[in-house]
Amino acid sequence: MTTKNVDKTGVGKPDSRDYTKKRSQLKLIMYRFSKNRLAVLGLCILCVLALCAIFADVIADYQTMAIKQNIMNKLQPPSAEHWLGTDQYGRDIFARIIHGARISLTMGIGTVLTSLTIGSIFGALAGYYGGKVDNIIMRIMDVFLAIPNMLMAVTIVGALGGGLVNLLIAMSISSIPRFSRVIRSSILSVRDMDYIEAARACGTKDSRIIYKHVLPNAIGPIIVNATLSLANTILSISGMSFIGLGIEKPMPEWGSMLSEGRAQMRYHPNLVIFPGIAIALAVLGLNLVGDGLRDALDPKLKN
Amino acid sequence: MARYVFKRILMMIPVLLGISFIIFAILSFSPGDPVMMMLGDNPDPQAYAELTRELGLDKPFFVQYFNYIASALKGNFGKSWITKIPVFDEILARFPTTFYITVGAICLKVLIGVPIGVISAVKQYSIVDNVGMVLTLIFASMPTFWLGLILILVFSLYLGVLPAVGAESWQNFVLPCVTLAIGSAATLVRMTRSTMLEVIRQDYIRTARAKGASERVVIYKHALRNALLPVITIVGLNFGVMLGGTMVIESLFAMPGLGTNTITAIRMKDRPMVMASVLYVAFLAGVINLLVDLAYAYVDPRVKAQYLRK
């Protein structure tokens, strides 16, 4: 089976890596990840975006450049002063995109962390105890899963009203079921391993077994899913803002920049092109890293 | 088989009840007064009290919910609080638009996605495959509404060949379908490619080659048939998701479909309309999932045997 060891980057050549050399699991994963050119490219994109988000205030002042309206300066084409031009209120598009990165990334990460935490509690309980607990939790999750994600989020935001916190709640609730499913199934795959039985034989408490033995061994698919779901969340947040149900104006969110720029796009296409590229880059970076992590964590899955 | 279908339909009932409860609760406990929405900012107190009683909003939450379910079971989903039209008349009038967008997008998606996926897999690591994979990555990362905006910009505003908004003729449906199809076609390419690659390595493919079958017969008769099964399932399952996900596309192209209707209803706190829309979409998605499972069993004897055993 030489085909199994073929590497995407190696274009068909048999794998020359030495798997016999002793290395820690983590180093091996990092090594495999670093050999995947696309994944590294994704990581670079994400690093640049993250740096932009962290140093947004240093790059462009929030109040004067991203928020303050300056009608005299409206709809400027890209220039040395305004790299990507200005919008219909005279705000610098580059500054708004940089600050938008901050909003999208923090909202995305916040959503994923919230739904991951809650989802992993439900998923761990269902997977570890099985039987009745599993049945009750998963049937409730099935109900949530049967409502299309976007519909659920729109209903919650529509009912609670817009704003950062409500959007975060809506997005989290709609992605909890998916996380609990993933976590449940990866826990099921390790639950009956010998080392779990050994831990139980030592009299370890259930909560300790779940957190110390089960979760770390089931974490691979969870990390991959979290990365890919972060990409989806960023897409949904901008989609919600685009239809006017997300972040409130004048906050510089990528989706709402697109919907505001729409009226002017015929003569000023830069208003819609650049925010869209920002969303696509963030999502692309996360997808690449997610795929790369999946391949690095479980080389068997790879074609 | 009939027993299986019956069981699956029975299983939809608690799911739909659960959905109705969740959505009803969200709508009932959210801030904002629907009666104020209907009467304006400074309503006459008497009219206000009358309308509240008429809508049953003065009763406790659980009574309201049970009343709703009781009349829904009799097939009466109520009238819209805003337009006073029976909700299902409105939903059925708007459904075709959403349905055409979804079906058009799915057909396009399969027509684009499957052939490219197959070619990519058959010629793995060739230039076609590499270019295809990079392109699918890019298209899969694009937000659909942005792609839609760019398509409007090019085809409606610059070239003037296709209308940007509305739903009057078939031309109105071209851009929404293409927009919705491209992003998910990219995912489909990747899926087709990976299942195809898996199938190509199976023993029966080697046997087919060994007995001297031409490459075309091997690929189209032996490999593609087997690889298509999971692909069809995913496409079918996606149908339900797409029905609920046309909201952004409909509002981008200003089409009077189910999605835009639901958004308006949510904004206006029109509870009967929101409830009926969500339940309708969830019900359709459930039925479609069931049909996909049945079709799958029909095509694949291995799966059929599994169901018969149950």
B37 domain-assigned: yes
Same domain, B249 and B110: yes
Closest residue of chain A to B18, computed from CA coordinates: A143
Residue pointed to by tokens 């010629």:
B123
Judged by CB atoms within 8 Å, which residues 111-170 of B form the interface with A? 125, 137-138, 140-146, 149-150, 152-153, 157
**Does residue B46 share a domain with residue B173?**
no
pLDDT tops 80 at residue A300: no
CB count in 10 Å sphere of residue B43: 15
Flag whether B197 is in a domain.
Answer: yes
Query: What average pLDDT does the segment A204-223 reach?
Result: 83
Among candidate residues B146, B304, B222, the one with its CA nearest the CA of residue A272: B146
Q: Does B10 touch chain A (CB under 8 A)?
A: no
- The dihedral built from the CA positions of residue B47, B51, B54 and B56, taken in this order, carries a sign that is negative
Is A10 a residue whose pLDDT tops 50?
no
Rg (CA), chain B: 24
Residue B279 resides in a domain: no
A76 vs chain B: nearest CA distance in angstroms? 19
User: Is pLDDT above 70 for A19?
Assistant: no
In whole angstroms, give the CA distance from residue B186 to residue B261: 29
Q: Do B143 and A235 touch (CB under 8 A)?
A: yes
Does residue B83 lie in a domain region?
A: no
Contact B179, B154 (CB under 8 A): no
C-alpha span between B286 and B271 (Å, rounded): 22
Distance between CA B150 and CA B139 in Å, rounded? 13
Q: Is residue B92 part of a domain?
A: no
* Domain endpoint, select from B234, B254, B274: B254
pLDDT tens for B45-66 read: 888 888 888 888 888 899 999 9
Q: How far apart are CA A157 and CA A178, in angstroms?
A: 20
- Measured in angstroms, the CA of A274 and the nearest CA of chain B are apart by 10
- By Cβ distance, the residue of A142, A147, A280 closest to B143 is A280
Residue B264 lies in a domain: no
Output the pLDDT for position A17: 56
Q: How would you write the pLDDT of chain B (310 residues) with one tens digit per residue?
A: 788 888 888 888 888 999 999 999 988 888 777 887 777 777 788 888 888 888 888 888 999 999 999 998 888 888 888 888 999 899 999 999 999 999 999 999 999 999 999 999 988 888 988 898 889 989 989 998 999 999 999 999 999 888 888 878 888 899 999 999 998 899 899 889 988 888 888 888 889 889 988 888 888 888 888 888 778 878 887 887 787 668 889 989 999 999 999 988 988 888 899 999 989 988 888 888 888 878 777 767 676 676 666 5
Straight-line distance from the first to the last Cα atom of chain A, in angstroms, rounded to the nearest whole number = 12
CATH code (residue B191): 1.10.3720.10
CB A104 within 8 A of CB A168: no
3-state DSSP assignment of residue B42: coil
Same domain as B176, residue B53? no
Query: Quick one: closest CA in A to B267, which residue?
Result: A158
Judge: A243–B241 Cβ closer than 8 Å, yes or no: no
Nearest to B279 by CA among B247, B244, B250: B244
Query: Nearest CA to CA, how far is B124 from chain A (Å)?
Result: 9
User: How far apart are the C-alpha atoms of B49 and A61, rounded to whole Å?
Assistant: 51
Please tell me the pTM assigned to this model.
Answer: 0.84
B144 lies in the same domain as B62: no
The residue among B177 and A18 whose pLDDT is bigger is B177
Q: Flag the least confident range among A161-175, A227-241, B168-182, B240-254.
A: B240-254
Does B217 map to a domain? yes
Sign of CA dihedral B191, B192, B193, B196: positive
Across the interface, whether the CB atoms of A303 and B194 are under 8 A apart is answered yes
The domains of chain A are located at: 34-297
Place of tokens 């691979």: A220
Cis peptide before B96 (omega within 30 of 0): no
B286/B306 Cα distance (integer angstroms): 21
* Mean confidence (pLDDT) of chain A: 84
Decide: residue A22, CB within 10 A, 0-12 exposed, 13-18 middle, 19+ buried. Answer: exposed
This model of the complex carries an ipTM of 0.83
Tell me if residue B290 falls in helix, strand or coil.
helix
Q: Which amino acid is at B28?
A: S
**Whether B106 and B242 share a structural domain:** yes
State residue A22's pLDDT score: 57
Give me the residues paired with residue B86 across strands: B79
Report the half-sphere exposure of A8 (CA within 13 A, side-chain side).
21
A176, A111 in Cβ contact below 8 A?
no
Distance from C-alpha of A150 to C-alpha of B15, rounded to nearest angstrom: 18
Q: What is the DSSP letter of A92?
A: B
pLDDT at position A5 is: 46
Nearest CA in chain B to A6: B125
Encode pLDDT of A26-85 as tens digits: 888 888 888 888 899 999 999 999 999 999 888 888 888 777 888 888 888 888 888 888
Contact A4, A258 (CB under 8 A): no
Question: In this structure, which amino acid lies at residue B279?
Answer: L
Asked whether residue B20 is assigned to any structural domain, the reply reads yes
Looking at the structure, tell me whether residues B141 and B235 fall in a common domain: yes
Minimum distance, in Å, between the CA of residue B194 and any CA atom of chain A: 7
Helices (H) and strands (E) counted in chain B, each on its own, are 15, 0
Report the CATH fold assignment for A34-297.
MetI-like fold (1.10.3720)
Rounded Cα–Cα distance for residues A259 and B224 (Å): 42
Q: What is the mean pLDDT of residues A207-226?
A: 83
Q: Identify the domain boundary among B73, B92, B125.
A: B73
Q: Are A202 and A112 a contacting pair, CB within 8 Å? A: no
Q: Which of B73, B90, B117 delimits the end of a domain? A: B73
pLDDT tens profile A264-274: 888 889 899 99
Confidence of residue A1 (pLDDT cuts 50, 70, 90): very low
In chain B, how many domains are there? 2
Q: Write out the residue range of the structural domain in which residue B206 sits.
A: 102-254
Residues of B in contact with A142 (CB under 8 A): 15, 18
Q: What is the mean pLDDT of residues A230-234?
A: 92
Q: Is it the case that residue A18 has pLDDT exceeding 90?
A: no
